[in-house]
Structure 1
C-alpha cells in the first residue's frame, strides 16, 4: 500500500480533494516560513534596543498599517481575479521584506525598529487575507469542517522550521540578515499559487444584488462598513474577532514581560521566545492535523469554539491562585508559560480553522467581505485598544501588574464565551 492513501485516511482527506489540499498546504507553508523568519528577525532586532514593555507601542503603530492593508486588499479584490490578487500581494510582501533588509544598512533611527516589527503584523494579515480569500471559495460547509485544519496546517511546520533555524543563526549572522530567507520563502510560494490558478478551481467573486449581504447604495468607508455589518452573523463575528485579538495581544505581552523578568538580557529573552514558539508549533501540529477535524465533527462548531476561552479561564484561575498561595516567582512564571502555550496551541489548532468554518454558510461574496471586516478592520482596532490599555496600566504603576492583566483577561475570556453563544444563535 502506498503512503498516499494512508495520509489521506489519517488527515481525513478524500482522493478527489487531495491535489487542491496539498497545493494549498504548500502555499501556506512557504508564506508561513517566510513570515516566521521575518518575525524572528524583527523581534530580535527590536529587543536588541528596547524592553518588552515597548511592545505596546508596536501594537499601536501597527493598527493604522493593518487598517490600510485591509482596505487596499478589498480594493484589489474588487478589481482582479483572486489568484491575480494573491500574486500581487505575495510580490508586494516580498518587495517590502527586501526593502526593509536593504534599508537596514543605512537607517539607524529608533523609529525603524518599531516600523520593522510592526510590519510583521502587516505581513501576517496580508498573507491571511490572500490565503483565506482563495481557500474559502473552494469548499462547502461540510468540507471546510474536515479540511480547514489540514489546509492551514502548512503554517505550523513552516513556523517550526523558521523559528528553529532562526534560533541557531539569529545571533550569528545578525537578526536582519534573516530577512533574506524570509524574502526567498515568500517568493517560493508563487509556484503553488500558479498551480491553483492553472487548475481552474479558483473563481472570481461575482458582485451582484443576490447575495446574503444587504445592499446599500453609495461609496466610502461608512457605506462599506454599513453594507456588510447589516448581516447579523458578520457583525457578531466582527465583535468576536475584536475580543479574541485583544485577548491574545494581552496574553503575549504579559508572557513576554514575565520571560523578561526571568531572563534579564535581551538576547536571552529573544532566544527563549524563539524556542517557545517552536515548541508550541510542534504541539499545535499534532493537535491540528490529527484531532481538530475530528473534534469539530464529533462535538460541533459551537462547543469547539468554546474550548480555548474555557481553558484560558481555567489557567487564569491557576495563575491568580499561584500568586496568592506562593511568593515564588517561578511558580507564576511556569503557570503563565503553560497558559501561553495552551492558548497559542488551541488558537492555532482549533479556534482559527473552526472560526473560518463558521463563515462558510455565507455565499462567496459575503464570505469574502466577512474576512475583510473581521481581519482588516477589527484586528487593527483590537491592537490599538490593547496597546493603549497596556500603556495606561504601565503608567498607572499598579502594585501587581500581572494580577491586573489576569483580571482583564478573565473579563475578555467571559466576553469571548458570550460572543460565541451569540454567533451560534446567528
Structure 2
C-alpha cells in the first residue's frame, strides 16, 4: 500500500508541539525542584529515572508492534494531560513533595512521547521517503524547542513558575487536537502487525546481556556509552549544583534555564546546519565520534584548572560550567547522536534492533544507576578539584575507547562482524546484499567518500557481491577517486564481475600512474579470456613493477605459442634470480598459477637451490609454499613436508592447511606408499591435514 506525503506537515507541527512541551516540562520541573530542594536530592531522582528507563525498554517497547500505535499515542497524550492537571492541583494544594516526582515524570513522559512519535512516523513513511521527510520533521522539533525556551523568560515576568504547568497542559492538549485528524486519516497505517500480536512477551534482560557478551562491536559501544553517560550525568549534576548556588527562587531558575536551553538549542541547530555535516563527510562517522570525548576533556580540564588555582572565583567557575554544558549539548546532538544511529548499520538486521535495545535498555540505566550512586556515596567525600580530575581521567579513557571502537568498527565491516567464522561471514554478507534497497545504496555511496580505507574495501566488496545495476553504477562512479588503494580495489572487484560493458573502461587503467592499479587491471582484463584484449598486455611485459610483470605472464600464458612460452619462462627465470625478495616472490606466484612441465621444473630447481632463503624471508616462504601446493604432484608433497622442518608453529599450521589441499588430490595408493616412507613428524603432519580436511 502506498504511503502519501501530506502527513509530513502535520507531523512537523506535531513534533513542534511535542518538543516545545518537553522542553517546557523539563524547565518547569527543574526550576521547581532546584528552588525547593538541595542539589543532593537530584541523584535520587536519577535513580528513579534509571528504573523507569529499564521498565520502558523491558515492558513497553515490545508492545509497540502488537497494538495500534495511533490509539497508543492518542491515549498517551490524553493520559499525560490528565496527569499534569492532577499535579497542578496537588501543587495548588501546597503538596511540595510532588516537585521530586515531577522531575522524573518529565523525563519519563518525554521518552515515551518521542519513542511513540517516531514509531508513528515510520508507519507513515517508508524507508525511501523517510530519508527526505524526517530531517524536515525533525526541524519542527528544533524550532519548537528554541521558541518555547526563549518564551520562558518573558513568561516569568507575568506568571509564577508553577503556572508554567498550565502552558504545559495547553501544549499537550494542542498535540491531541492536532493528532486527532492524522489518526482518522492515516489510522490504517497504525494498526498492529498480525504476526506480532501473539508474541506478547517482554524482552529478557538476559537476552540483552547476551548480545553484549557475544557481539564485540556492541560490547565496545556499550563500554563507550556507559563511560560517556557517566560523565554526562556528573556534568549535569555539577550544572544543577551551580544553578542552585546562583539562583534562589523558581522564577529566576526558570528564566535562566529558558535562556540557556534556547541559546544551546540555537547553537546546536547552527552547528548542524554548518560544521557538523561537513565534518561528518570529511572525517567519517567513526572519527567524528571523537568530537564529544575531546570536548569533555577540554571542559573538565578547564574546570579543574579554575577550581585548583582560582577556587574563590565562583562567577568564573559558574561561567565555565554553563558554557561547558552548552558546548556538550551542542556537540552531543550534532556528532554523537547521529553517529550512534549510523553505528548500528554495521550490524546485520536481526541484531540491529536488539543491539540498540541492549544499550538503551541495559547499559544506559546501568550508567545512570552507577553515576547516581557515585554522587550519593563518593562525591560527598571528595573535594571539587579531585572529583573534576577523576572525571577528566575518565574522559581521557573515553577517547581511548572511541579509538578502540573505531578499530572494532572497521574489523566488523571488513570481517562481516568480528569473531564470526568464515561460513557465518558469508551468510551475513549474503543477508546484507539481499537487504539492499535504494536508501542503502545512497548511504554506501556517501561512505565510499568519507570512511577509512578498510571500510571502503568492505563496501566495495559488498557492492560487487550485490552486482545489481545500482551497485555497479556506484562502483563505476568511484573509479576516478584520488585514493590509489581504493582505486585498485575497485578495479579488482569490477574485474571479477566480467561484465561486457566494463571491458573498455578497465583497459584504461593499464596506463594508470599507480603500479598496484595497473597490476589489478591486468588481472581484471585477463578475466575476460579474450585473446584480442590480452594482446594489449604484451607491452607490459617490460613494466618496471614486478607484480605487473607476473600478472601479464599469467594472463598471456594460455594464449601464446610454445616459442613465446619459452620467452615468458626466461622472464620468470630473470625475476626469480633477482636480488630483491619481493621480485622473486612475484615470480614464484606466477609459477604457481601457470601450468606445464617446464614451469614445475623451474619451481623445483628453485626450491632445492634456494636453501635457507625461504626460512629467513616470510614473503618467499608464503609464495613458494603456495606455488608448490598448486602443483598436484607427489613430489610437491615431499617439498612441503621438507619446508615444515625446523619452522615455528604458525608456519607449520600454514603448511598443514596447504597439505590438506594437496592430499585430497592424490590417489589413496600413492598416499599410503608415502606414509610408509616418511618419518613420524611428516606422518603426523599428513594425518592432521587429512583430519582438518575431513572436518572442513
Q: TM-score, normalised to structure 2's length? A: 0.50
Q: Judge which range, 40-49 or 124-133, deviates more.
A: 124-133
What does residue 161 of structure 2 align with?
A: 175
Distance apart, 1:115 and its partner CA: 0.6
Q: 1:245 to 1:141 in 2, by over 3 A?
A: farther
Q: 1:386 to 1:412 in 2, by over 3 A?
A: farther
1:149·1:288 contact (CA, 8 Å) conserved in 2?
no
1:26·1:154 contact (CA, 8 Å) conserved in 2?
yes
Q: 1:151 to 1:423 in 2, by over 3 A?
A: farther
What does residue 256 of structure 1 align with?
A: 240
Distance apart, 1:59 and its partner CA: 0.7
2:32·2:99 contact (CA, 8 Å) conserved in 1?
yes
1:82·1:134 contact (CA, 8 Å) conserved in 2?
yes
Distance apart, 1:119 and its partner CA: 0.9
2:227 and 2:134 mapped to 1: Cα distance?
Answer: 22
Residue 300, structure 1, aligned to residue 287, structure 2: no
Higher Cα Rg, which structure: 2
Match of 2:79 among 81, 87, 92: 92
Match of 2:111 among 100, 125, 140: 125
- Secondary structure (helix, strand or coil) at the match of 1:242 reads helix
- Secondary structure (helix, strand or coil) at the match of 2:284 reads helix
Distance apart, 1:382 and its partner CA: 2.2
2:395 and 2:105 mapped to 1: Cα distance?
Answer: 29
1:116 and 1:131 mapped to 2: Cα distance?
Answer: 22
Q: Judge which range, 287-296 or 34-43, deviates more.
A: 287-296
2:292·2:328 contact (CA, 8 Å) conserved in 1?
yes
- Secondary structure (helix, strand or coil) at the match of 1:117 reads helix
1:206·1:365 contact (CA, 8 Å) conserved in 2?
no
Q: Judge which range, 74-83 or 197-206, deviates more.
A: 197-206
Deviations 1:98-157 (A, max 9, x none): 3322333336152x221111111102221232234445675659975x776554333322
Match of 2:328 among 323, 329, 343: 343
Segments of 5+ residues of structure 2 without an aligned counterpart are 413-696
Instruction: Tell me which of the two structures has the higher relative contact order, counting C-alpha pairs closer than 8 angstroms and 6 or more residues apart.
Output: 1
Residue 321, structure 1, aligned to residue 305, structure 2: yes
Match of 1:44 among 16, 31, 34: 31
2:156·2:251 contact (CA, 8 Å) conserved in 1?
no
What does residue 214 of structure 1 align with?
A: none
2:160·2:251 contact (CA, 8 Å) conserved in 1?
no
Deviations 1:173-192 (A, max 9, x none): 33332222222323433535
1:169 and 1:243 mapped to 2: Cα distance?
Answer: 38
Pairwise CA RMSD of aligned residues? Answer: 3.8
Distance apart, 1:79 and its partner CA: 1.4
2:150·2:258 contact (CA, 8 Å) conserved in 1?
yes
Deviations 1:316-373 (A, max 9, x none): 2233233344453333332222211110111223322332233356677755545544
Where do 1:67-216 residues align within 5 Å? Answer: 67-106=54-93, 108-110=95-97, 112-135=98-121, 138=125, 150-170=136-156, 172-190=158-176, 191-192=178-179, 195=182, 198=185
2:140 and 2:400 mapped to 1: Cα distance?
Answer: 31
- Secondary structure (helix, strand or coil) at the match of 1:189 reads helix
- Secondary structure (helix, strand or coil) at the match of 1:260 reads helix
What does residue 392 of structure 1 align with?
A: 377
Q: Judge which range, 232-241 or 57-66, deviates more.
A: 232-241
2:159 and 2:402 mapped to 1: Cα distance?
Answer: 45
Distance apart, 1:221 and its partner CA: 2.7
Distance apart, 1:41 and its partner CA: 1.7
Q: How many residues align?
A: 402
What does residue 225 of structure 1 align with?
A: 208
Q: 1:416 to 1:130 in 2, by over 3 A?
A: farther
Deviations 1:280-320 (A, max 9, x none): 11111222245544443343221232212112212322332
2:184 and 2:223 mapped to 1: Cα distance?
Answer: 34
- Secondary structure (helix, strand or coil) at the match of 1:359 reads helix
- Secondary structure (helix, strand or coil) at the match of 1:173 reads coil
What does residue 231 of structure 2 align with?
A: 247
Q: Judge which range, 28-37 or 263-272, deviates more.
A: 263-272
2:205 and 2:180 mapped to 1: Cα distance?
Answer: 33
What does residue 35 of structure 1 align with?
A: 22
Distance apart, 1:44 and its partner CA: 1.7
What does residue 537 of structure 2 align with?
A: none
1:355 and 1:139 mapped to 2: Cα distance?
Answer: 21
Residue 281, structure 1, aligned to residue 268, structure 2: no
1:243 and 1:193 mapped to 2: Cα distance?
Answer: 42
